[in-house]
Every structure is written in structure tokens, then in C-alpha cells.
Amino acid sequence: MKNERQIIEVSDATALAHTAAERLVSRLEDNNERAAICLTGGSSPERLYRLLASEPYRDRIPWRRVHWFMGDERFVAPEDLRNNMAMARRLFLDICAPPENIHPIPVQAGTTHDAARRYEIALQTFYGSGRLDPARPLFDLVLMGLGPDGHTASLFPGDAALDERTRWVVGVSRANVEPLVPRVTLTLPTLASCREMLFVVSGPDKRGVLAQVLDGDDLPAARAHSLGDTVWLVDSAALPGSIA
């Protein structure tokens, strides 16, 4: 695991969405075969998702060969507005992606643990193995957000999910922040299996917690790294020390 991270500062949320879209397209251009993107929930990626459904990005994405997964999910009905995949579907997937290329976490399962098990099997089937090979990353790109308590995906400070090394996906019974519903999350080794992990962090509310991450505090988001490149895309309002 490479522990360094690259920080890219952009002027504002609009520039952040454009830069993220360019990076996503560029990762797809690097791979001429079937590609996999792991999405994130929260509000930070909303502009990016809208952008992907509009030109020029819509035309630059080879939709037929790109598969879309979700890094974590709130355990609410698929059509619930708080459901992460519902948000991604509404903003771009249902507009552009073939339905068979959209891989939601199965929130209809009886428990978060059942949903986690089923998603793990879906990921392993897609990957073609139950063992992650560092030479063959699962994802081309993994998008990540930064929560106010330093969580990322649904990996909350102090939760056992953070230390999981074997399971690819786990259920989380208690969320630390709103919405206070159970969650399902990919674990750190699964998220690490990517060519690029791209954090998108925007706005002044993120400045304090981002300072903690950059100072080396042991927060979930600080533990998250890619086996390939780990990039933090941050707008000036969120970046500690920036004069925004």
C-alpha cells in the first residue's frame, strides 16, 4: 500500500466537479476493456453526477463497457431519497447507463448483513475471484467523501468495520451522523483495490476535519488509501491554509 496522497486544490465546487469528471474519463480511457467505477453517496458528488449526464462528458463515457457500483449504502428502500444509488440513478445512471451495468447494494435483503453478503458475492462474481490480486485492481476509480466526523464510505470512527480485513462488504448497525439508519459498506481492502481513489471535498464546513486528516489523526478517511493513486480533490474553501 502506498501511503502518500496527492492533494489537488481547485477554486470551487464547479471546478471540483469538472476536474473529477476529467479524471474519471481519463481512467476509462486508460482501460480499453470492461471498466468498473465505485461511486460515493453524500451531497459532494451531486454536481459531478449531473455533469456526467451532460455534454461533453456524456459522449466521452463508453457507457456499454462501464459498470457502476456503490461504496456504501444507507439501509433504506431503493427509491428512498436518502438511498445513495437512488441519487446516482436520478442524476445520471438512469439517463445514460445500461440497466445491467448498474450494481446497487441490495437493500431489499432482510438485514444489513444479508445485503453485505449478497453484494460481496456480486463483486466477487464480477471480479472473477474471491481473492483480490494487487496486480489486478477491482475498480478503475473509487470515489470517496469526507464526513464531518472523519468517516468515509460508511466506515465510522471506532466501528469494527474499520478493521475488517477479510470481508469485502459488511453491515454497520449504527451510523455516527445523519441519516441515522443502518448502513452497508465496502471495507478498506476492497476500496483500496483500485487504480485511483479520488476524494471529493468541498466547502468551508470540511476545513476542520480535513485539517485533522492532513495532520495525521487516525480517522477512517485518513486510513483509506488506494493500492494505486490516492488523490484528494479539494476546493479552496475546504483546504486548510488556503486563502479562499
Interacting residues with ligand 6PG (CB under 6 A): 40-44, 72, 74, 84, 145-147, 151-154
Helix (H, G, I), strand (E, B) or coil at 38: strand
What is the nearest approach in angstroms of ligand 6PG to the Cβ of residue 165?
20
Which residue's beta carbon is nearest to the bound ligand 6PG? 145
Between residues 71 and 137, which has the closer beta carbon with respect to ligand 6PG? 71
What is the nearest approach in angstroms of ligand 6PG to the Cβ of residue 103?
16
Between residues 60 and 106, which has the closer beta carbon with respect to ligand 6PG? 106
Nearest to 69 by CA among 186, 207, 156, 202: 186
Spatial separation of the C-alpha atoms in residues 101 and 96, rounded to whole Å: 10
Instruction: Quickly count: other Cβ atoms within 10 Å of residue 84's Cβ.
Output: 24
Q: What are phi and psi of 35, to 5 degrees?
A: -120, 155
Between residues 151 and 195, which has the closer beta carbon with respect to ligand 6PG? 151
Nearest to 73 by CA among 168, 153, 148, 139: 153
What is the nearest approach in angstroms of ligand 6PG to the Cβ of residue 46?
8
Between residues 5 and 65, which has the closer beta carbon with respect to ligand 6PG? 5
